Amino acid sequence: MIVIRSPQTKEDFKDYYALRYQVLRQPWGQHQGSEKDDYEPISRHFMAVDDGSGELLGVVKLLEKEPGVAWFSHLAVAPRHQRTGIGRLLVEHVEEVARQEGFRTIGAYSRLNSTEYFKRFGYQITGLPSPYFGAVQVVWMEKSLD
Ligand SMILES: CC(C)(COP(=O)(O)OP(=O)(O)OC[C@H]1O[C@@H](n2cnc3c(N)ncnc32)[C@H](O)[C@@H]1OP(=O)(O)O)[C@@H](O)C(=O)NCCC(=O)NCCS
């Protein structure tokens, strides 16, 4: 069974950031450490884990962007588990957490090649693309939680 929980131990966090790096930074030749941003201490972190094998399947984090607006970022699914519904589970999870915490809107900066993915969940583009890490362009997408 797949469970979504927050990383707790030093080992959990090591695996959590390693998966981020592997999926989101290494392919662009970015240095280790680039998988973290300044907002880690004020973010809620989530990991999808196979509770049978203990394997880490995917990660995402959630924080407040501005009053009423939740922001999830660093969504990454382990390569061999992509397109098996893990991303969907993580997105639905952060939406539910944000809803319970009283946020009215949730959004993410999507790479231009992932906008179709987020549109499936009802997200709409509300901004102009901007460069990210000099490697891709991202655009803010959001949806109402009401
Ligand atoms: C993009 C990503 C998070 C999607 O998670 P996932 O677990 O692989 O996707 P899911 O299994 O939840 O996909 C749900 C649906 O979206 C589709 N889908 C997956 N990736 C897609 C994409 N990039 N564009 C359009 N549709 C996509 C799937 O085919 C699936 O369709 P179905 O429900 O009809 O079968 C994951 O593939 C990933 O980590 N990719 C690399 C990093 C990345 O691009 N992160 C996004 C940062 S903006």
Q: pLDDT tens, 25-81?
A: 999 899 999 999 999 999 999 999 999 999 999 999 999 999 999 999 999 999 999
Residue 113 confidence (pLDDT): 92
CA–centroid distance, residue 75 to ligand 1 (Å): 10
Among protein residues, the one with the nearest Cα to ligand 1's atom 26 is 117
The pTM of this model reads 0.94
Q: What is the rounded CA–CA span in Å between residue 72 and residue 70?
A: 7
Structure tokens at 71: 């922001």
Task: Determine whether domain 2-108 maps to CATH 3.30.70.3280.
Answer: no
pLDDT at 132 over 90: no
Q: Domain map of the chain by residue range? A: 2-108
